[in-house]
């Protein structure tokens, strides 16, 4: 069975030969690098024996979005993603701040060794009128070619490898999280409630760019990809970012239009996957209705996102990808504790298919590489169907989230991410 066949099987709620694994299957299933202390990517390259290449990260977030294929193979990934070739020229405003014109003038701020979206001074924070929109200097040219070399790469991935290929574009965050990136997350949500007319005008402007560039991308590669990825974080650690009623009024119609625009370029069997962090259970029925077939990244410590609960409530209607905790267990546990956790995670998500193992967001830069390899090796070894994973892990009868909480990782000396 090929990797592509394996992932399609679980997405169609069937049990293949083993649980598929994903590393490098999207830009949210990779690893960060923040030297000199955060070297998870470099450490993985070292473990893979790679001496002729070094990790390279993009403009925002220190994300190693295109890890070497030898790392992808070492971590047993069944998936590989394909990205658009977008302009990355920036304007340096001062020593610590730059603007990315093509990305609607997103402002990026250097904080130590980390380059992050500048939410303290977003480029569109001042905008409240049509005049502000008309006079804004950073609207991308919708005729920009983002496809140089991309179609051939897609063909090679589809025809010469067995990977399940995922299409991924930079405009998959727009209109919504992108609205927050460029205007400020607070203003995005406030505009919905006190400036709804302006909100819809600006959202339509973002949607226009999304439809243009995702249309260009999937018109070129749609016949080769097995899945299209969209992004919109709908949750926080404890709740949704908005009510279901506000989601349906201000958000869902745009998401549905984005999915409709992508779907017309895909093969019938290809899937739609959404990346949406946080506590989002209240939105999942709507996501299913508008055509989402795979849910990622499954943040297990967010409220209501326990794996057993998601599987019970939605496992017949949507497939799951992700779920291995990157907040506490992966960065702060031991390899042995991660092995126990992965076994529990598979026992909860994988029966009957419908699950692809992956981390619950990009692996953070200070995560020990030994924890990463132990986790992915365990998923590969113990995910074989029919599942028969013995509960000989020292925590019998304890579900995945309860197990993580029982370890009290947040109180350990040197814990990097206390909750």
Q: pLDDT (tens digit, 9 = 90+) per residue, 6-45?
A: 999 999 999 999 999 999 999 999 999 999 989 999 999 9
DSSP-assigned states of every residue in 22-34:
-SSSSTTSSEE-B
Residue 185: inside a domain: yes
In the structure encoding, which two tokens stand for residue 251, read together? Answer: 């958000």
Give the mean model confidence (pLDDT) for residues 406-418.
75
Q: Which of 17, 28, 38 is nearest to 417 (CA)?
A: 38
| pLDDT band, residue 271 (cuts 50/70/90) | very high
| pLDDT band, residue 413 (cuts 50/70/90) | low
Above 60 in pLDDT, residue 134? yes
Residue 53: inside a domain: yes
Mean of all residue pLDDT scores within the chain: 95
Structure confidence at residue 416 (pLDDT): 57
In the structure encoding, which two tokens stand for residue 276, read together? Answer: 């949406």
In the structure encoding, which two tokens stand for residue 68, read together? Answer: 């070497």
- What CATH number has the domain bearing residue 37? 3.20.20.210
Residue 395: inside a domain: yes
Q: pLDDT (tens digit, 9 = 90+) per residue, 135-189?
A: 999 999 999 999 999 999 999 999 999 999 999 987 888 888 899 999 999 999 9
What angle (nearest 5°) sits at the alpha carbon of residue 106, between those of residues 165 and 103?
Answer: 45
Number of domains, the chain: 1
Residue 112: inside a domain: no
Instruction: Report how far residue 239's alpha carbon sits from residue 222's, in angstroms, rounded to the nearest whole number.
Output: 35
Residue 110: inside a domain: no
Q: Could you list the beta-strand ranges (E) of 43-155.
A: 63-64, 79-83, 91-92, 97-100, 106-111, 114-117
Structure confidence at residue 13 (pLDDT): 98
Q: pLDDT (tens digit, 9 = 90+) per residue, 348-403?
A: 999 999 999 999 999 999 999 999 999 999 999 999 999 999 877 778 889 999 99
DSSP-assigned states of every residue in 42-78:
HHHHHHTT--S------SSTTEE-S--HHHHHHTT--
Residues 371/336, Cβ–Cβ less than 8 Å: no
| pLDDT band, residue 74 (cuts 50/70/90) | very high
Above 70 in pLDDT, residue 417? no
Instruction: Report how far residue 327's alpha carbon sits from residue 370's, in angstroms, rounded to the nearest whole number.
Output: 16
Structure confidence at residue 419 (pLDDT): 55
18 three-state secondary structure? strand
128 three-state secondary structure? coil
The rounded Cα 138 to chain-centroid distance in angstroms is 26
Residue 322: inside a domain: yes
Residue 37: inside a domain: yes
Residue numbers of the domain that contains 185: 3-87+124-411
Give the mean model confidence (pLDDT) for residues 311-323.
98
| pLDDT band, residue 411 (cuts 50/70/90) | confident
Q: pLDDT (tens digit, 9 = 90+) per residue, 84-111?
A: 999 999 999 988 999 999 999 999 999 8
Residue 396: inside a domain: yes
Instruction: Report how far residue 349's alpha carbon sits from residue 322's, in angstroms, rounded to the nearest whole number.
Output: 10
Q: pLDDT (tens digit, 9 = 90+) per residue, 221-240?
A: 999 999 999 999 999 999 99
**End-to-end Cα distance, the chain:** 41
Indicate the DSSP class of residue 170. G
Instruction: Report how far residue 143's alpha carbon sits from residue 337's, in angstroms, rounded to the nearest whole number.
Output: 51
Structure confidence at residue 405 (pLDDT): 96
Give the mean model confidence (pLDDT) for residues 326-332.
97
Above 60 in pLDDT, residue 414? yes
Structure confidence at residue 415 (pLDDT): 61
Above 60 in pLDDT, residue 418? no
Instruction: Report how far residue 390's alpha carbon sits from residue 344's, in angstroms, rounded to the nearest whole number.
Output: 10
């Amino acid at each position: 069975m090929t990797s592509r066949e394996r992932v399609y099987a679980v997405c169609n709620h069937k049990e293949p030969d083993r649980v598929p694994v994903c590393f490098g299957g999207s830009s949210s299933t990779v690893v960060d690098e923040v030297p000199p202390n955060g070297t998870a990517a470099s450490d993985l390259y070292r473990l893979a024996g790679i001496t002729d290449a070094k990790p390279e990260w993009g403009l925002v977030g220190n994300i190693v979005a295109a890890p070497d294929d030898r790392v992808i193979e070492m971590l047993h990934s069944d998936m590989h993603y394909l990205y658009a070739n977008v302009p990355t020229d920036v304007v340096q405003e001062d020593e610590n701040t730059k603007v990315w014109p093509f990305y609607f003038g997103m402002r990026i701020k250097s904080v130590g060794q980390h380059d992050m979206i500048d939410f303290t001074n977003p480029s569109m924070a001042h905008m409240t009128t049509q005049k502000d929109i008309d006079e804004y200097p950073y609207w991308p040219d919708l005729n920009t070619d983002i496809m140089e070399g991309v179609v051939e790469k897609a063909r090679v991935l589809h025809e010469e490898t067995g990977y399940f290929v995922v299409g991924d574009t930079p405009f998959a965050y727009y209109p919504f999280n992108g609205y927050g990136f460029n205007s400020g997350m607070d203003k995005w949500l406030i505009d919905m409630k006190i400036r709804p007319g302006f909100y819809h005008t600006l959202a339509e402007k973002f949607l226009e760019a999304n439809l243009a560039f995702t249309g260009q991308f999937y018109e070129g590669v749609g016949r080769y990809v097995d899945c299209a990825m969209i992004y919109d974080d709908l949750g926080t650690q404890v709740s949704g970012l908005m009510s279901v009623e506000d989601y349906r009024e201000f958000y869902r119609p745009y998401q549905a239009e984005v999915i409709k625009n992508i779907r017309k370029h895909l093969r019938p069997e290809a899937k739609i996957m959404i990346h949406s962090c946080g506590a989002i259970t209240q939105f999942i029925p709507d996501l299913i209705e508008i055509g989402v077939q795979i849910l990622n990244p499954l943040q297990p410590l967010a409220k209501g996102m326990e794996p057993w609960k998601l599987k019970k409530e939605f496992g017949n209607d949507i497939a799951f990808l992700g779920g291995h905790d990157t907040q506490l267990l992966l960065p702060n546990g031991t390899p042995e504790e991660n092995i126990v956790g992965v076994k529990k995670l598979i026992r909860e998500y994988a029966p009957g298919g419908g699950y692809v193992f992956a981390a619950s967001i990009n692996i953070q830069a200070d995560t020990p590489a030994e924890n990463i390899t132990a986790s992915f090796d365990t998923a590969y070894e113990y995910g074989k169907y029919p599942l028969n994973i013995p509960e000989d892990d020292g925590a019998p009868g304890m579900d995945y989230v309860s197990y993580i909480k029982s370890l009290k990782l947040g109180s350990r000396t040197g814990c990097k991410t206390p909750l």
